Structure 1
Amino acid sequence: MAKEIDRVRTTSALEVVRQHPLLVLFALSPAFAGLALIWWLAGTGWAIVTLLVLLVAGGAFVVLKR
């Protein structure tokens, strides 16, 4: 049972997203602004690659943090 995601924390995080979607959008707005800037300066392909890298890195951070 090493490094598994706690069910209580998962449901708590989902409840925060359901109850306060604007708070989550505000917290993620710098990432959206950065992606929009990359899209504008470098193109769609680089923005998609950056988004995928951010998603994988964020998922790894969440899973490996414990």
Structure 2
Amino acid sequence: MAGKKVDRVHAESALEVVKESPAIVAIVAAPAIVVFGLLWWLTGFGTALLVALVLAGVAVIAKKVF
């Protein structure tokens, strides 16, 4: 898995895209923010945060496995 690291050039390129097109980031992040807010409203902040952390952990593990 040594080839999966992010190098400086790719990181800077991604940052430039975010700086030039923040609407793209908003469109991609909007569903996650809406789901987090809805879960927060229905169950409370602690549960919403726990679900977000569990999903992030699952995503990291899945990325490493596959």
TM-score (norm 1): 0.70
Alpha carbon RMSD of aligned pairs, Å? 2.5
Identity of counterpart residues, as a percentage? 41
Structure with the bigger percentage of helix: 2
One-letter code aligned to 1:24 = V
Gaps in structure 1 of 5+ consecutive residues: none
TM-score (norm 2): 0.70
Question: Number of residue pairs matched?
Answer: 63
Structure with the bigger RCO (C-alpha within 8 Å, sep 6+) is 1
**Stretches (4+) displaced over 2 A:** 50-58
Shift of 1:22: 2.1
Aligned equivalent of 2:26: 25
